[in-house]
């Protein structure tokens, strides 16, 4: 299937897209496809805050209700890799229309679900149809805009991709608080309809080409990706590798990936084009976007429980405090396209990662008395940094890649970002739970109580007899330290990734230097 994905992108960058530029349809194409992108990205986080309300309505346990999130994430991850082949085989515009239509209808069905089984089924369909929206939108923008405007195009695309995880909890909390959790899904209907109309009338069709689909390669990659996502999503609930379920997922993920690599190296028609992995810029971009995915969603997974559970903020207040982070991202993405015309994109990446690292360093000084001002300032700084990183990476990743590989490349790019997000969230939440327990034990052992009160009790059990008020304060202090440890870990991950910038090349700057 290798060139199946790339075929769509390559043909899409020819006459049809040139006609779109000549007719001045860039703006309408952009609006139409970005509506679809924002709609899909929002749904990765918008339902999180509504889970407790869904649990009561659907009669589900706390463990069962998490499948509302897991089913969507796993389905989207599995169906992202074949997006390019589908676009090449049936035409990008047709795949776009079917995807937006299917996503919109399944959103409506999610809102009408009367049982947990119905909800999981419709969420699976949401993931299946939504998987193609982000990679197709990126490939379409790259082909619609001329190369000198790619930075601006990626700025627009990046706003949609990055703003979704930030606004999702805020919008979801507001809709749940003042209307119903069902509006978390109904909100997609008007945007889906407008997007379909815009795509139907404005987006030109790409040429199609029949080619054999590497079903074995897809099946092996789907097994690896699906098993990894299940491991990451279920691990925290079942105590990770102590559970047979997680051990099985790990075996399937490793086995699937190994067999996929062996198959790809021995077949004449591999699922992924080998040429992709010979492009240094693109491979470096995949690594970078993986790290960005970790920082983007991991921080957003930590802050809401920190603010709600330990600071006592209501859902709406939490959303308002987190919103400036998205504002910072939007500001930097609006200006970074112009900055890339004057400065080396690699320098902007380093500046952005420096801002992210500084904001995380500031967050390592958080305690339970941290002010809203400090929360907002660090959020804005982090948003500014992420915007400066995301757009140059998205642009440089395709700078040296042949246009015919864009469809396949954008699908893999989105998959890398999503896997980074999933792994990042799993790592920080596992570390948070473990550190919270360890800190409780260590702080409890240091509490001075009347002599003889703990005589005869093992140190592991001594904490259980502490007075309620003392135990509550110990838990609060333990949580404070655990969150600080997580912020520090994310800071070091970000710093460790900074040298990767030297693997990237900037063809435009190189050509200017020669001239």
- Residue 93's φ and ψ, nearest 5 degrees, are -60, -45
Using the predicted structure, report yes or no on whether residue 147 has a pLDDT greater than 70: yes
The one-character DSSP state at 206 is: P
Q: What is the CA radius of gyration of the chain?
A: 24
Query: Taking the CA of residue 125 as centre, how many other CA atoms within 13 Å lie in the half-sphere pointing to its CB?
Result: 17
Q: Could you read off the pLDDT of 226-260 as tens digits, one per residue?
A: 888 888 877 877 778 888 888 999 999 999 999 99
**How far, in Å, CA of 395 to CA of 250, rounded?**
34
Only one residue has tokens 């900055």, namely 339
Strands (E) in 221-316, as ranges, are none
Cα dihedral angle (79, 84, 85, 89), rounded to 10 degrees? 120
CATH classification for the domain delimited by 2-214+269-433+486-510, as one of 3.30.310.10, 3.30.70.1350, 1.20.1250.20, 2.60.410.10: 1.20.1250.20
Using the predicted structure, report yes or no on whether residue 266 has a pLDDT greater than 80: yes
Using the predicted structure, report yes or no on whether residue 51 has a pLDDT greater than 90: no
The three-state secondary structure class of 377 is: helix
Q: Could you read off the pLDDT of 482-515 as tens digits, one per residue?
A: 999 999 999 999 898 888 888 888 766 544 444 4
The one-character DSSP state at 305 is: H
The one-character DSSP state at 309 is: I
Mean pLDDT lowest among 5-19, 363-377, 403-417: 5-19
* pLDDT reported for residue 5: 37
Using the predicted structure, report yes or no on whether residue 87 has a pLDDT greater than 60: yes
- Average confidence score pLDDT of the chain: 80
Tokens of 109: 């069905």
Only one residue has tokens 């990770």, namely 240
Q: Could you read off the pLDDT of 195-213 as tens digits, one per residue?
A: 899 888 888 877 777 777 8
Q: Could you read off the pLDDT of 103-144 as tens digits, one per residue?
A: 999 999 998 888 888 888 999 999 899 888 888 888 888 888
Using the predicted structure, report yes or no on whether residue 318 has a pLDDT greater than 50: yes
Segment 307-312 long-range contacts (CB within 8 Å, at least 24 positions apart)? 307/375, 309/479, 310/368, 310/476, 310/479, 310/480, 310/483, 311/368, 311/370
Q: Are 318 and 376 in contact (CB under 8 A)?
A: no
Residue 288: exposed, middle, or buried by beta-carbon count in 10 A (0-12, 13-18, 19+)? buried
Structural domain boundaries in the chain: 2-214+269-433+486-510
Identify the residue with better confidence: 192 or 40: 192
């Amino acid at each position: 299937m290798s060139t199946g994905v790339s075929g769509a992108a390559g043909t899409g960058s020819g006459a049809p897209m040139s006609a779109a530029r000549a007719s001045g349809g860039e703006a309408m194409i952009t609006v139409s496809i970005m509506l679809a992108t924002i709609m899909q990205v929002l749904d990765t986080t918008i339902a999180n805050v509504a889970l407790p309300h869904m649990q009561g309505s659907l009669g589900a346990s706390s463990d069962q209700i998490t499948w509302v999130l897991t089913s969507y994430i796993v389905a989207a991850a599995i169906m992202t890799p074949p997006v390019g082949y589908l676009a090449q085989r049936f035409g990008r515009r047709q795949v776009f229309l079917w995807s937006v239509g299917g996503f919109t209808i399944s959103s409506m069905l999610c809102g009408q679900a009367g049982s947990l089984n119905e909800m999981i089924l419709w969420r699976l369909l949401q993931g299946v149809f939504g998987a193609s929206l982000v990679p197709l939108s990126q490939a379409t923008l790259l082909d619609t805009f001329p190369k000198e405007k790619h930075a601006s195009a990626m700025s627009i695309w990046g706003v949609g991709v990055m703003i979704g995880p930030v606004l999702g909890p805020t919008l979801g909390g507001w809709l749940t608080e003042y209307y119903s959790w069902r509006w978390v899904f109904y909100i997609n209907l008007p945007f889906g309809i407008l997007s379909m109309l815009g795509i139907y009338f404005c987006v030109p069709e790409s040429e199609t080409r029949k080619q054999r689909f590497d079903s074995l390669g897809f099946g092996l990659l789907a097994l690896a990706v699906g098993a990894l996502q299940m491991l990451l999503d279920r691990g925290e609930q079942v105590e990770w590798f102590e559970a047979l379920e997680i051990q099985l997922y790990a075996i399937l993920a490793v086995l699937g990936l190994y067999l996929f690599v062996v198959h790809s190296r021995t077949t004449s028609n591999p699922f992924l084009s080998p040429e992709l992995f010979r492009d240094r810029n693109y491979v470096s971009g995949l690594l970078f976007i993986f790290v960005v995915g970790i920082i983007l969603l991991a921080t957003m997974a930590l802050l809401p429980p920190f603010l709600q559970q330990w600071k006592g903020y209501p859902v709406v207040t939490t959303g308002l405090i987190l919103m400036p982070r998205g504002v910072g991202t939007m500001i930097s993405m609006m200006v970074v396209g112009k900055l890339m015309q004057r400065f080396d994109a690699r320098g902007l990446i380093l500046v952005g990662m420096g801002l992210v690292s500084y904001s995380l360093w500031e967050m390592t000084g958080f305690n339970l008395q941290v002010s809203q001002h400090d929360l907002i300032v660090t959020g804005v700084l982090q948003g500014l940094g992420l915007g400066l990183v995301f757009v140059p990476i998205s642009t440089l990743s395709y700078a040296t890649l042949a246009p015919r590989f864009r469809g396949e490349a954008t699908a893999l790019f989105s998959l890398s970002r999503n896997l980074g997000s999933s792994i990042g969230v799993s790592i920080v939440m596992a570390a948070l739970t473990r550190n919270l327990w360890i800190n409780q034990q260590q702080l409890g052992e240091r509490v001075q109580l009347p002599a003889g009160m703990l005589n005869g009790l093992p140190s592991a059990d001594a904490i259980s007899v502490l007075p309620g008020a003392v135990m509550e304060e110990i838990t609060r202090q333990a949580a404070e330290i655990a969150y600080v440890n997580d912020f520090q870990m994310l800071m070091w991950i970000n710093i460790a990734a900074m040298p990767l910038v030297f693997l990237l090349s900037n063809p435009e700057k190189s050509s200017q230097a020669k001239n």
